[in-house]
Amino acid sequence: MSSAYHDEGFWRKYVFSTDHKWIGIQYAVTALFFLLIGFCLILVMRWQLAYPGEAVPIIGKLLSEEGMLTPDLYNSFGAMHGTIMIFLGVVPLAVGGFGNYVLPLQIGAPDMAFPKINMASYWSFFVGGVVMLASFFMPQGAASSGWTMYPPLSVIQTTGETMWLIGMVFLITSSLLGAINFITTVIQLRTKGMTWMRLPFFVWTQFITSFLLLLAFPPLESAAILQLMDRLAGTSFFLPSGLYVGGEVLNVSGGGSPLLWQHLFWFLAHPEVYVLILPAMGIVAEIITNNTRKPLWGYRSMVYSLIFLGFMSFIVWAHHMFLTGMGTTMAAFFQTTTMIISIPSVIILSAMFISLWGGSIRFSVPMLFALAFLPMFGIGGLTGLPLGLASADIHLHDTYYVIGHFHYIVAPGTLLALFAGIYYWFPKVTGRKMNDSLGRIHFFGTFIGMNGVFMPMFIQGLAGVSRRLYDGGTTYLHAQPVLQWNEFMTISAILLGLFQIPFIVNFFMSIKRGKKVSSNPWEATTLEWAAAPSPPIRHGNFSSVPEVYHSPYEYNVPVNGTVEEFVPQNKVLEVE
Amino acid sequence: MERAEDVKKHIKVYLWVFAGLVIGTIVTVAVSNLQAGVALGIFIAMVIATFKGSLVAGFFMHLRTEKKLIYFVLGITALLLLVLMFITFFTIGDQVGVQIVPESAGHSVH
Amino acid sequence: MEIPYTVDAHPETGLHNSKIGIWLFLASEVMLFGGLFSAYILLRTGSLPGVWPLGSDILSVPIGTFNTLVLIISSVTMVMSWASLKMNDFSKYKLYMGTTILLGSLFLVIKIFYEYIPKFSHHHFPSTDTFYAIYFTLTGLHGLHVLGGILVNLYFWGPGSKLWKTEPERFSNRIEVAGLYWHFVDLVWIFLFPTLYLL
Ligand code: HEM
Ligand SMILES: [Cu+2]
């Protein structure tokens, strides 16, 4: 088995690897790096919001002569923060990293169905990331019209929108290749006995996520192509006739529609928020059932909810566009679908809450993060309901309330789940455990820091403070009563940043020095734990093809008159 | 798996399909010369295009005898395609108020 | 460990991996062109009365018709090349595949030299108006797809065809997959042609 891979050089093994485990690691490390960048961008912005016009400490000289963040840079940083966090941070970590590493192991497959395409997916992502980063160093700077790239602004803007669009095309290609691979793998490569209803919930979330990526991304790709044409070939797909710029009518043919972009953009971007959250739910479900030592409550209804949710996520997109002059008929339609889609999310969240009930919970580090995910996601979801109701959204749209809402989903929500996943699967990847005390410090600091940053955004938003404001609202009368929160949020963000240091230290230290563990340190039931600790790259996944006999979460189940602590999916039980 | 004898039968079918496609092309062009009016013209052209498209998909791409899984994938895709096209269309059609069209708009075609 | 079902069909789905892979890819392509068609419909229905020109007044219907026939024939030769492999006739395969490649190239040559370049020399550019913008973008993107198909076919006609000697089953699977892509590109054109040239 191993001899076939013997003559592999360094490049084939570690750079252009086709092994899903190594690609997963490549994805995860790159994505963590981008998350850090995205965070640093927002730290600088938060400084400006709390202390408008004051020089930014330490790195100020890099930004401008006076050391402060200029308005143009503020716009660039904001657009790139959103872009980097979503497309280069969370999705690549959740899908590219965890999905690639864990999914084939969990279904007992030797690798992904198309290893070479998997490699192409990573490198396409990498190029997309480089293009995005490079735009900061181009003479015209990085894109600055928001992560949504709304025309006409994005077309007439002279900053790096073109680079953004080109980078996006690479990122979309990467996601499409990955999605094709994931779907084929789950359909074809499940090992013997791994029926659909025996799939770990994590695999289900990745499967549905892949469908979202596959079918929602292409319309954005077409929109990106059209916008590239607008910028490079002078077309007017998104430019209406008679557009005034700087007091003069823009010299283009006109006849385009800015709303068209918004539709194609949100046709992707709403499913995209489920791409951000579903894998996180999958991670949390795995960790919760493992640490309550109980089967996942309502596994089936969770799976059905997930499928329904995946489908519904395609018909709610225009709830982001209530304020574009939409008539009442369509507003009512999208408002209804939005209310309906909250049902499956609530079912999944409730099932995970109920799973806790009566369990003897092990408060391990991954479990702390997973537990914190539940209320955080709950807050994010509940605050989303008013945004889905057209009449309430008229007041809340484009305020800090929206920023608070979706960050509760993606930051204290998804990010906590991703940290949970890192602590949980670290022993599988490296064969060593991460340090517990540092993990706890990281957890409490992150949890408190996150809430300190995002909770006050609701207060500011309800008072009407707009998002994307360079001065954080200083010049607005209605913002005065809530202005003092800006400093509080910025200090929280700085603390949040400081509390990532124990994580970074822990991460790198544990790779070499962490406590060595057996192949199944958490006493879990799913198949990835049947593989060797730190399964070697390019040597297949299992010593022999595993066969599955049980549903995924057989914890404390009665077997032959006694209660088994846990029954791995591939364990043969003697029946008396 | 297809066997050689089956494939021989296929080939005859392919040639019939080819004939169908050529005729379809000629008919579309001929009909468009009649200038049947915009709505009717679009309708006829799309009916013929759909007919030709189904020939290609059904015979050359073997969709007529494909496995369930493929039908399933294409079914979802078709549904979402309709969602994308029609809901977008309805939404843009359902606008509050009057769109303000500047005077220069009509003359913008050079 | 070998990856299962690269060549033979999975007992449950009845399909080998790349067949599923290509259909998923084509599904995403349907959505890609779907997005562009939506753009076309919206821009056209949203245009002011009398502004949108009739395609046949601007584009050459004879050339478009001819190119449509070229692509249709290439689809036939493509499916014949696969059928030849199934009947174990490798030299026929080479012939049909070679013809497919030539027809694909002919399509592009006509497109570029008899349509694009004359348009450019008459100062008709994508920026001229929305009709030209749509026309150049859609046919350009379609042309890129044709180009991609030609490159893939060229590979399977030349160096890639060595596989036939060692793993004939696998090779004809690959030709089937390449064929599915090629037919799809043809299919897109079948819709593009009346939309742009006739309506
Ligand atoms: C963890 C620390 C994070 C902090 C402190 C943070 C903070 C902020 C703030 C203050 C804004 C508003 C900027 C403005 O309107 O001027 C913002 C915008 C945004 N953030 Fe974050 N964020 C974090 C993480 C994330 C993550 C994980 C994601 C996505 C997965 C994300 C996605 C976005 C997006 C899409 C925007 C909107 C950008 C735009 O206006 O175009 N953020 N963030
Ligand atoms: Cu949404």
The predicted structure's pLDDT at residue A260: 95
Q: By the 8 A CB rule, do A190 and A197 touch?
A: no
Interface chains of chain B (3 or more CB pairs under 8 Å): A, C
| Mean per-residue pLDDT over chain A, rounded | 94
Predicted confidence (pLDDT) per residue in C112-138, tens digit: 999 999 999 999 999 999 999 999 999
**pLDDT digit string, tens, across residues A432-489:** 999 999 999 999 999 999 999 999 999 999 999 999 999 989 999 999 999 999 999 9
Mutate to test the interface with A, among C3, C38, C52 (most CBs of A within 10 A): C3
Side-chain half-sphere CA neighbours of A199 within 13 A = 26
Q: Say if the Cβ atoms of C29 and A218 lie within 8 Å.
A: yes
Q: What is the number of CB-based contacts under 8 A between chain A and chain C?
A: 137
Provide the pLDDT for residue A223. 97
CB contact under 8 A, A237 and C35: no
Q: How far is the CA of A272 from the centre of ligand 2 (A)?
A: 9
Nearest to A330 by CA among B80, C42, B95, C41: B95
Residue C17 tokens, joined: 């991996």
Q: Is the CB of A472 under 6 A from ligand 1?
A: no
Q: Which CATH architecture has domain C17-198?
A: Up-down Bundle (1.20)
Cβ-proximal residues to A526 (8 Å cutoff; 6+ apart), any chain: A106, A200, A286, A552, A553, A568, A569
| Alpha carbons A88 and A171: distance in angstroms, whole number | 8
- Give me the residue spans of the domains in chain C: 17-198
Please work out whether the CB of residue A42 comes within 6 Å of at least one atom of ligand 1: yes
Taking only the tens place, the pLDDT of each residue in B41-79 is 888 889 999 999 999 999 999 999 899 999 999 999 999
Q: How confident is the model at residue B2 (pLDDT cuts 50, 70, 90)?
A: low
DSSP label at A481?
A: G
**If you average pLDDT over residues A308-335, what whole number do you get?**
94
Peptide bond into A535 cis (omega under 30): no
Mutation pick from B5, B9, B29 vs chain C, by most beta carbons of C within 10 Å, is: B29
pLDDT recorded at residue A576 = 54
Contact assignment for C28 to A180 by CB distance below 8 Å: yes
Task: Tell me, using a 6 A CB cutoff, whether residue A403 lines ligand 1.
Answer: yes
**pLDDT for the residue A529:** 95
Q: Whose CA is nearest to atom 9 of ligand 1?
A: A42
Average pLDDT of chain C is 95
pTM above 0.90, yes or no: yes
The token pair that represents A284 in the structure block? 């949390």
Neighboring chain B residues of C56 at a CB cutoff of 8 Å: 32
Neighbouring-strand partners of residue B95:
A326
Q: Calculate the average pLDDT of chain B.
A: 84
Sorted by where each starts, the structural domains of chain A and their CATH numbers stand as 20-238+255-566 (1.20.210.10)
Mean pLDDT of B8-15: 90
Closest atom of ligand 1 to CA, residue A469: 16
Q: Is the pLDDT of residue A1 over 50?
A: no
Q: Which helix (H) or strand (E) holds A32?
A: helix A20-50
Write down the pLDDT at residue C94. Answer: 97
pLDDT at B34: 79
Q: Which residues contact C120 (CB under 8 A, 6 or more apart)?
A: none
Q: Which chains touch A (3+ CB pairs under 8 A)?
A: B, C
- Give the best residue of C6, C23, C24 to mutate against chain A (max A CB count within 10 A): C24
Instruction: Give me A112's structure tokens.
Output: 């992904």
- Contact between A407 and A414 under an 8 Å Cβ cutoff? The reply is no
Does residue C199 belong to the interface with chain B, where contact is any CB pair within 8 Å? yes
Determine, for residues C30 and B81 on separate chains, whether the beta-carbon distance falls below 8 Å: yes
ipTM of the complex, rounded to two decimals: 0.96
The residue whose CB lies within 8 Å of the most ligand 1 atoms, and thus the one to mutate among A45, A168, A266, A407, is A407
Q: Nearest CA of chain B to the CA of C159: how many Å?
A: 25
In Å, how far is C95's CA from the nearest CA of chain A?
30
Q: Which residues of A touch C1 (CB under 8 A)?
A: 1, 110-111, 540-542, 545
Q: Which residue of A has its CA nearest to B74?
A: A215
Nearest residue (by CA) to ligand 1, atom 38, is: A82
A176 contacts C28? CB cut-off 8 A: yes
Inter-residue contact A416 to A380 (CB < 8 Å): no
Each as own residue / partner, the long-range contacts of residues A61-70 (CB below 8 Å, 24 or more positions apart, any chain) are A69/A44, A69/A45
Query: Is residue A263 a contact partner of residue A329, using CB atoms and an 8 Å limit?
Result: no
Residue B107's pLDDT band (boundaries 50, 70, 90)? very low
Residues A164 and A135 sit within 8 Å (Cβ to Cβ)? yes
CB of A149 closer than 6 A to ligand 1? no
Are the beta carbons of C73 and B18 separated by less than 8 Å?
yes
Antiparallel, parallel or unpaired: β A555-559 and A562-566: antiparallel
Residues of chain C with Cβ-Cβ distance to A223 below 8 Å are 35, 39
Scanning C145-164 for CB atoms below 8 A from B yields: none
Q: Is A309 left (phi over 0), alpha (psi -120 to 50) or beta?
A: alpha
Nearest CB neighbour to A219, from listed C10, C34, C128: C34
Q: CA A58, CA A68: separation in Å to the nearest integer?
A: 11
Spatial CB neighbours of C148, under 8 Å, sequence gap ≥ 6 = none
